[in-house]
Chain A
């Protein structure tokens, strides 16, 4: 959870006096707070952590990082169903799988 994920800003609006954006993370779209990067513009990429944009990133770096995180399963962890993940952790034992092969 300390890993932040790069995303692309799709649109920006003020809500309750707070600057918010819709951000695309390789297909998953989330609401993101821009209070820490108030001059971020539509089309730009940023490192986003738990719903907050924390630092700008260039497009190529963002794409590569997204690919890596997808490969490591971190996108599933960040955006997937956490209860399913917890249940899977509770019920799946890769060592037994390996031993049974």
Chain B
């Protein structure tokens, strides 16, 4: 009984599970978009508590995981320059580029610093006027507004020695790409709660309608995920495909208007390559021409760096829900957190790291499923 007793409210969890079990009549495949949701699902064994008809497919919602290899290589090239102080969030340190990572660049003498906030990088730039300070701006719609505000502040305050290497990604085009793939099995989405707390839900009705797929905005707590699954399954069983907000305590329909306005000002939509997946049209942001002076890619002339993804890492298939992490031949052998082939094994939000961390080294047995489930 490891799983159900660990829930915040085991009784409510049982009721949600009972409802899901009572509702399901046939197989459904749901994709949780956010890596935080994936970790919560695996940590609490939610996938094993659900009826066997309900399959959870892990989506591409880990910003570290989807940052393309060539962007990492650009970061490594910039970080290796003697005049540069390279600032990054901590979870980028061990993401492998070609041959090395930021952790090794620092060991080799590069001035790589970890910051909690992009504003910390701006402060470092003010304190070091003789150096070039570069911030590694990656992430989804949750991270983009803080980074946008930081570039805006740099321009406003006239901080010339600050620039940003921008590789932001957007969720809705990824959903569109996943649904457009001929091999797609996804029938419903648990949308990422924090992305929606910024962007609202306005981008989703068109997708839900076009692909006839329910999209349920979902939080991260185990009960949130069960509720998201319950609502998605109910829609599927009733032949519905609407956008439903199951995370209303943190998500307003309009999102955060001030943050969205800043995104519009600082960034412009661009095609963006996703690691292991390839280019998804309109799926990214880059700095708009107004802020070109603060574009590190332009300032350090690294636009020409082109890197092919390694063939042995199958993280692209994992990110698209075509392969479970433990089904990869390299999982746990060639590829571990110590020797990662791809970012899905490095990032704390990566699906491969979740399976590794929580000992999902083998395919779950039916015995475990029965033991874990409150419904016989």
Q: Give A contacts to B, CB under 8 Å.
A: 1-4, 16, 18, 30-31, 33, 35-38, 47, 49-52, 54-55, 57-58, 61, 64-65, 67-69, 71-74, 77-79, 82-83, 85-86, 89-95, 98
Contact = CB atoms under 8 A, between A and B. Distances in A.
B117 A83 contact: no
B89 interface: yes
Interface in B40-62: 40, 43, 61-62
B349 interface: yes
Contacts of B157: 16
B197 A64 contact: no
25 contacts: A2-B142, A2-B143, A2-B192, A2-B349, A30-B116, A30-B117, A33-B146, A33-B149, A50-B116, A50-B143, A51-B116, A51-B146, A52-B117, A52-B145, A54-B142, A64-B221, A65-B220, A68-B40, A68-B220, A68-B222, A82-B91, A83-B90, A86-B93, A91-B338, A92-B337
Contacts, number: 151
B119 A93 contact: no
A2 B36 CA distance: 8
Contacts of A72: 39-40, 43
Q: How large is the interface on B (under 10, 10 to 19, 20 to 34, 35 or more residues)?
A: 35 or more
A98 B39 CA distance: 20
B223 to A, nearest CB: 9
Contacts of A57: 249-250
B124 interface: no
B91 A93 contact: no
Contacts of A67: 8
Given A1-B349, A64-B8, A77-B348, A89 B258 contact: no
B89 A1 contact: yes
B338 A93 contact: yes
Given A1-B63, A2-B62, A72-B43, 10 more contacts: A1-B349, A36-B262, A51-B116, A52-B146, A54-B194, A82-B91, A85-B90, A89-B337, A89-B338, A93-B338
Contacts of A93: 336-338
B103 A54 contact: no
Interface in B197-238: 197-198, 219-222
A2 B139 contact: yes
Given A2-B63, A2-B140, A50-B89, A89 B120 contact: no
A80 B43 CA distance: 21
B128 interface: no
B315 to A, nearest CB: 17
A18 B122 CA distance: 13
Main secondary structure of the interface of A (DSSP, over half): mixed
A91 B103 CA distance: 13
Contacts of A77: 90-91, 348
B338 A4 contact: no
B357 interface: yes
Contacts of B149: 33, 35-36, 52
B97 interface: no
Given A49-B146, A49-B194, A82 B361 contact: no
B332 A1 contact: no
B346 interface: yes
A18 B192 CA distance: 29
Nearest to B102: A86
B242 to A, nearest CB: 23
A88 B139 CA distance: 24
Given A2-B140, A94-B359, A54 B220 contact: no
Q: Which 8 A-B pairs have the closest CB atoms?
A: A51-B117, A82-B90, A82-B114, A52-B146, A55-B197, A86-B93, A3-B36, A36-B259
A27 B4 CA distance: 28
A79 B143 CA distance: 16
A56 B29 CA distance: 32
Contacts of A85: 90
